[in-house]
C-alpha cells in the first residue's frame, strides 16, 4: 500500500501554490509543534485525531484535487497518507522531508513559540527512565532494572514497527497541546 502513495518536494508544492493552484495542506504534527513553525499554507490536524472520513467530507467537492500531508520529516505524514489510502482515497500526497525540508528550502513559514520536538521529548523521557531503573536497581533492589529493560524493549519495538507508544502518549500531554484562544489567534494562511 505505501508504495502507491504519491510524493512531492516542498519546492514543487510551493511552485504549485505560487502558480495559483489550489493547495490543501494538512500538518499532522502536534499542536505545539505546529505552533512553533509550520509551512504557511498548512492547517493543523494532529495525527492522533486524524479522521480521513471527516476531512474528505469537509473538502466540499475538491476531491479531485490532491490533499497534501506534511509533518516534521515525513514519517507521520506517510502514516497519515496510508490511513487515507486504506479508505480508497488516492489523491493524497506526502510532502517529502516535511516541515524540516520546507524550512531548509527557505520557503514561507509561520513562526510561533519554541517547543521541544516530540522526538526530543521521547529521547529525554526514555533516558530518564533507563537511568532511574539502573540507579534504583543498583541502590535499592535489582528488580528495578526491569524499568530499564521495559524501556529498552519499547524502543526496540518502536524501531521495528516504526510506531512509538511513548511518542503517542507524550503527544497527548498538556504541554503538547495549545489552548483554544492561542489556536484561534494564530494565523496559518
Flag whether pLDDT at 129 surpasses 50: yes
Give the DSSP per-residue string, 16-47: HHHTT---EEEE-S-HHHHHHEEETTEEE--G
Identify whether 164 is a catalytic site residue. Answer: no
Flag whether pLDDT at 4 surpasses 80: no
| DSSP code, position 78 | H
Give per-residue pLDDT as tens, 20-36: 988 999 999 988 889 88
Catalytic residue among 37, 71, 81, 164: 71
Residue with cell 504534527: 29
Flag whether pLDDT at 182 surpasses 60: no
The predicted pLDDT at position 61 comes to: 67
C-alpha cell at 55: 476531512
Average pLDDT, whole number, for the chain?
A: 87
Give per-residue pLDDT as tens, 33-72: 898 899 999 999 999 889 999 999 888 767 778 999 999 9
Amino acid at each position: 500500500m505505501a508504495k502507491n502513495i504519491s510524493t512531492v518536494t516542498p519546492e514543487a508544492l510551493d511552485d504549485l501554490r505560487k502558480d495559483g493552484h489550489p493547495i490543501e495542506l494538512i500538518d499532522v504534527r502536534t499542536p505545539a509543534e505546529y505552533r512553533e513553525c509550520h509551512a504557511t499554507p498548512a492547517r493543523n490536524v494532529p495525527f492522533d485525531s486524524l479522521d480521513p472520513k471527516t476531512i474528505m467530507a469537509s473538502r466540499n467537492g475538491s476531491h479531485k484535487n490532491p490533499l497534501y500531508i506534511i509533518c516534521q520529516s515525513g514519517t507521520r505524514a506517510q502514516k497519515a497518507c496510508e490511513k487515507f489510502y486504506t479508505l480508497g482515497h488516492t489523491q493524497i500526497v506526502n510532502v517529502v522531508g516535511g516541515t524540516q525540508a520546507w524550512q531548509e528550502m527557505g520557503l514561507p513559514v509561520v513562526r510561533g513559540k519554541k517547543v521541544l520536538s516530540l522526538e526530543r521529548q521521547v529521547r529525554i523521557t526514555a533516558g530518564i527512565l533507563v537511568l532511574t531503573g539502573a540507579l534504583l536497581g543498583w541502590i535499592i533492589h535489582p528488580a528495578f532494572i526491569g524499568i530499564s529493560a521495559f524501556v529498552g524493549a519499547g524502543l526496540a519495538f518502536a524501531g521495528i514497527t516504526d510506531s512509538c507508544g511513548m511518542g503517542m502518549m507524550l503527544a497527548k500531554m498538556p504541554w503538547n497541546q495549545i489552548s483554544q484562544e492561542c489556536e484561534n489567534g494564530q494565523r496559518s494562511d
